Amino acid sequence: MVALDFRVRGRFVSSVVGCIVRMVVKLHGAAFAACPRRVAACLYEKNVEFELVNVDLFAGDHKKPEFLQLHPFGLVPVIQDCDLTFFESRAIIRYYAEKYAGQGTDLLGKSLEDRATIEQWLEVEAHYFNEPAFSLAFQVLYAEKLGQEPDLNVIKSSEEKLTKVLDVYEERLSKSKYLGGEFFSLADLSHLPFAHYLINDSGKGYLFHDRKHVSAWWEDISSRPSWKKVLEL
Amino acid sequence: MAIKLHGSWMSTATLRVGATLYEKGLDFELVPVDLSAHEHKQENFLSLNPFGQVPAFEDGDLKLFESRAITKYIAYKYKEQGTELVGANFSEMPIIGVWMEVEAHHFAGPSTKLVWELCIKPMIGIPVDETVVEEATGKLNGVLDVYEARLAKNKYLGGDEFSLADLHHLPNIRYILMTPKASLFTSHPHVSRWWSDISSRPAWTKAAALSDAAIPKQA
């Protein structure tokens, strides 16, 4: 706890010195895109004011030279906050969750041990849930729009992977209200965008609703006011 | 011993955590997990990591899995000792965090595929899939082009100081340098310079020696 307190004080000083005129955080992305939605959800939870700067993904704006100056891999989102420009949605949400630890929802827990467990499940989302969820959502929602035949093998293998992952989640959530413990955290928040695509847009809701604890967890986290606001962007 | 690392010195993810423990000068016990006997898929180990992957980690009552969560925990819990790995000031954190994510989401995918195809498969007698190798090589080369530009202006990925953003790369690069795809790294001069620096650190030298000893000798 001492280390956390020190960092809170350090943050306040560096925020005042670095940005005398309060500027609104700029979130470059598209309102429908998963990774910008992940960041927007976090900013709403932390009551951080931001402006969504639209990037036309279908026109390929994110691959043009001026955008590559902001993000060398040409992806959304990118954050501009005073003189800080950075990217990678999970780096962004960790930064704001810590910078504004004292306001809005506590997304990192109360101790280093809480934080470690949250980080573990955030890594699980990134390395086990994300890829099959993205692949499945892409094939079902976007393949045809981009002139491709949906790849049935990818759909099948992605569902198989997600089934195994959600079985682990079911076991975890039978013992713990949320992934990181008894409190909502970044680990749960990070799932919102792709789980929403799968359940609401892709007809794959049964993967979640067929599992009692996963289903209850989804009902809970998706009904948070911050997530509803994200969907209205 | 309060700190236990369940894994194998052959495993890149175990090496990632081992290097971090050595950077912090921490005593720990390596509890061997026999990967060739599929011990990581058996019930005892699954109680530590339900995804059946090494490593798993214990520090007193705390149990963790996922190497990048473990290294971060170690870096914050033991911040006051050994090497600073997550930035001395909060202002350094976002950029170190960015490049840790770049490693996890852009570098790890293609580099892990190359390690699997070119190092692990030959060891266990499975044929190499050349299509996968070609695709992963192309992707990794693109990632290293971005790294080259970054490291032309910065000594380390996170900025002026070594951090977890650099350390997380050590295991996969080590293995790829044992294969013909070493040229991916030698063809990028700033990346080469960076690699020489980070791989000569005493903590990594120690971990790499343990990995050398663990790799079965080919006849």
What string of H, E and C letters represents the secondary structure of chain B?
CCEEEEECCCCHHHHHHHHHHHHCCCCCEEEECCCCCCHHHCHHHHCCCCCCCCCEEEECCEEEECHHHHHHHHHHHCCCCCCCCCCCCHHHHHHHHHHHHHHHHHHHHHHHHHHHHHHHHHHHCCCCCHHHHHHHHHHHHHHHHHHHHHHHHCCECCECCCCHHHHCCHHHHHHHCCCHHHHHHHCCHHHHHHHHHHHCCHHHHHHHHHHHHHCCCCC
Residue A160 lies in a domain: yes
Average pLDDT of the residues in B84-96: 92
> Is some CB atom of chain A closer than 8 A to the CB atom of B63?
no
Task: Find which of B61, B102, B105 to mutate to test the A interface (most A CBs within 10 Å of its CB).
Answer: B105
Strands A25-29 and A50-54: parallel
Structure-block tokens of residue A106: 């506590």
Chain B nearest C-alpha distance from A4 (Å): 10
Are B75 and B20 in contact, with CB atoms under 8 Å apart?
A: yes
Nearest CA among B102, B101, B97, B108 for reference residue B12: B108
Total domains in the fold of chain A: 2
Q: Residue A7 belongs to what domain range?
A: 2-99
Check CB contact of A213 with chain B, cutoff 8 Å. Answer: no
Q: Are A132 and A78 in contact (CB under 8 A)?
A: no
Interface contact flag, B102 A123, Cβ < 8 Å: no
Find the CB nearest B98 among A11, A87, A172.
A87
**CB-based contact (8 Å) between B65 and chain A?**
yes
Does residue B18 carry a pLDDT above 80? Answer: yes
Same domain assignment for residues A139 and A192: yes
Asked which of A77, A99, A121 is the last residue of a domain, the reply is: A99
Residue A229 belongs to a domain: no
Residues A150 and A217 placed together within one structural domain of the fold: yes
Are A120 and A204 within one domain? yes
pLDDT on residue A21: 59
Q: What is the per-residue pLDDT across A83-98, written as a single tens digit (0 to 9) for each? A: 999 999 999 999 999 9
Output B92 or A213, whichever has higher pLDDT. Answer: A213
Q: B104-132 b/e with 16+ CB inside 10 Å = b?
A: bbbbbebbbbbbbbbbeeeeeeeeeeeee
Angle between the N-to-C axes of helices A152-173 and A130-137, in degrees from 0 to 180, rounded to the nearest 10: 140
pLDDT at B215: 79
User: Does B17 lie at the interface with A, CB-CB under 8 angstroms?
Assistant: no
Task: State the smallest CA–CA distance between residue A76 and chain B in angstroms.
Answer: 13
Same domain, yes or no: A92 and A135 = no
Which residue of B20, B90, B107 to mutate against A (max A Cβ within 10 Å)?
B90
| A82 and A117 assigned to the same domain | no
In chain B, residues with a C-beta closer than 8 Å to the C-beta of A172 are 50
**Beta bridge mates, B32:** B7
Pair (A23, A120) in one structural domain: no
Q: Which two tokens stand for residue B41?
A: 């898929």
Contacts of B91 in chain A (CB under 8 A): 14, 18
pLDDT category at B218 given cuts 50, 70, 90 is low
Boundary of a domain, candidates A44, A67, A99: A99
> Residue A103 — left, alpha, or beta (φ > 0 → left; ψ -120 to 50 → alpha)?
beta
Tell me what pLDDT residue B177 has.
97
- Does residue A49 lie within any of the structural domains? yes
Query: Pairing relation of β-strands A78-81 and A84-87?
Result: antiparallel
Which residue, B173, B197, B175, B172, is CA-closest to B185?
Answer: B173
Could you tell me if A120 and A95 lie in one domain? no
**Distance, CA of B140 to CA of B133 (rounded, Å):** 10
CATH classification of the domain holding A181: 1.20.1050.10
For A78, name the nearest residue in chain B, comparing CA atoms only: B98
Is the model's pLDDT at B164 over the cut of 60? yes
* Residue numbers of chain A with a pLDDT score lower than 70: 1-22
Both tokens assigned to B97: 């965090």
* Distance (Å, whole) CA A33 – CA A70: 18
Nearest CA in chain B to A117: B64
The pTM (predicted TM-score) of the whole model is 0.94
Contact A91, B98 (CB under 8 A): yes
Distance CA A164, CA A185 (A): 23
- Inside any domain, residue A171: yes
Boundary of a domain, candidates A45, A69, A99 = A99
* Structure confidence by residue, pLDDT tens digits, B103-150: 999 999 999 999 999 999 998 899 999 999 999 999 999 999 999 999
Tell me whether residue A104 is in a domain: no
Measure CB to CB from residue A88 to each of B62, B69, B101 and give the nearest one. B101
A 10 A CB-CB count for B64 gives 24
Of residues A7, A120, A122, nearest to B90 (C-beta) = A7
Q: Which two tokens stand for residue A186?
A: 């970044």
Distance of CA A196 to the CA centre of its chain: 11
Any idea what the CATH number is for the domain that residue A60 is in? 3.40.30.10
What tokens appear for B140 in the block? Answer: 């990794």
pLDDT digits (tens, 9 = 90+) for B22-60: 999 999 999 999 998 999 999 999 999 999 999 999 999
Tokens representing B81 are 């000792």
Q: Does a structural domain hold residue A232?
A: no
Taking the Cβ of residue A155 and every Cβ of chain B, the question of whether any pair is shorter than 8 Å is answered with no
DSSP A50: E
Q: Are residues A147 and A201 in the same domain?
A: yes
Mean pLDDT of B174-197: 97
Contacts with A86 (C-beta within 8 Å, 6 or more apart), sequence order: A78, A79, A92, A95, B94, B95, B97, B98
Same domain, A118 and A218: yes
Predicted pLDDT at A197: 95
- Residues 157-216 of chain B whose Cβ lies under 8 A from any Cβ of chain A: none
Which two tokens mark A49?
């004011």
Distance CA B166, CA B156 (A): 7
Chain A contact present for B94, CB below 8 A: yes
d(CA A163, CA A231): 26
| pLDDT given for residue B122 in this prediction | 93
